[in-house]
Structure 1
Amino acid sequence: MPPVIDVNADLGEGFGRWDLGDDDALLEVVTSANVACGFHAGDPLIMRRVCAGAVARGVTIGAQVSYRDLAGFGRREMDVAPAELTAEVLYQIAALDGVARAEGGRVAYVKPHGALYNRIVRDPVQAAAVADAVRAYDPALPLLTLPGSAVHEAAGGLTVVAECFADRAYTPAGALVSRREPGAVIHDRDAVVARAVRMAAEGTVEAVDGSVVDIPARSLCVHGDTSGAVGLARAVRAALAEAGVRVEPFA
């Protein structure tokens, strides 16, 4: 059987009169859309527009939940009490699912964003809080995270799907290099495309120290807010097809 991978991107990350990324163009490329739910980016009009576009193109909709951090784009780590974090994640899932259903779709998975994503990789308390929110809303919803994340242990019966990143640098331990570090985001198109194919076909990636890290992922993220994101996403899709990798949603 040929290898299978999902291609996802963060969409709907504008706010009001400010646009970020080309959502319509990326919806022609990805198989899953992580739609911002209003806490780090996005607003009701944007959420509705992206959901409608995803439904029209047969793209799976995921809730991209975050810390309540519009000013910091959800990239500032926060110490939020577990009960509060669970309620805020639940609120975001419910809001996006309501909009998605109004447009003929539904939320099919949950992916934390930014600082929350990285925090629950290593923090079992916050990982459990996020898992509790997903379970409270719909225990059938998969939760997207890194391989080896604390979420796997905290899931408590939820489906956890492993994800890899085509344009992010990895540590030897398999974690993402912090965006505060130089070289955390890879901008060279050829390098990103080659890494994407390797991760999808072989399940490995080269870390910053040159070591090889196992990345047994079912979904591949291509960021939508970087320069040339659409062209890069198209190049990744074309290279995956050329390498014999089947691209289809995981949810």
Structure 2
Amino acid sequence: MDWSELLPELLDAILGKLTEFTDNLCFRSVCHSWQNIAKSHGMPPSIPWLYLPQNPVATNLQFYSFSENKVYKIPFPEAQDSQIIGSASGFLLIVGCLKNPKVLMINPFTGTKAHLPYVGHYDQYIQWDYSGSIVVTNYGCLKAKGGVYCRPGDHSWSGIDALADCLIHRIVHKAGSFYVLDYRTPVFYVLDDKMPNLTRIIRIPQYDPKYCQLFVFPDAILLSTHYYRNELPTLMPNSFDPMKQLS
């Protein structure tokens, strides 16, 4: 019996002992049967890697692993003359420059990629997230209000009626919904991830958008507010949980 003929039950037991992202990648590289088993399990929960900025003409990416205290360099020619906007669901969003026009979602470890419609060059205020089947963003709406969406393979972006008057500040996806913060008003727009359609609007107490960030956890969404030392406001002792607001 060779490695590819090990029983699935045994492979499942091995995978259950792997807690590091890199160990899971090594497991997948043994053979096709091991790779298929690993895909059915998904990646183990782990501390995200930190992307390290680098020269725009570089053809590789560098990531720092907190758990291993190690920097990994990954060949990545798609990054040349492009800007990495952010990450979602294991994918990086890449927008090319004018001489290399492209919008690309790509997993730097598996090589899985999807081309998205190109609207214009990179802007630092692009907000986006990916549900696994649909992308919601303000890309292409940066000088106006509104949000757009598309599915990988679409040739154009489609407008979102519910966000027609929204100046998008933050977008995150969790459990079948997109959560969108409006820059001008203290509301959450909650959209389903199919069309997307408006599900609910939630009012946020003591909202100052320029200081707010959204963070997704396994069982919650955290709305974090930060202030500079000389700009501390008077805050009332209360809390806001958008997940509870939906119930």
TM-score range, shorter chain: under 0.3
Relative to the length of structure 2, the TM-score reads 0.27
Structure of larger gyration radius:
2
Q: If the length of structure 1 is used for normalisation, what is the TM-score?
A: 0.26
Work out which structure has the larger RCO, using CA pairs closer than 8 Å and 6 or more positions apart in sequence.
1
The structure with the greater share of residues assigned to helix is 1
Q: Which structure carries more strand by proportion?
A: 2
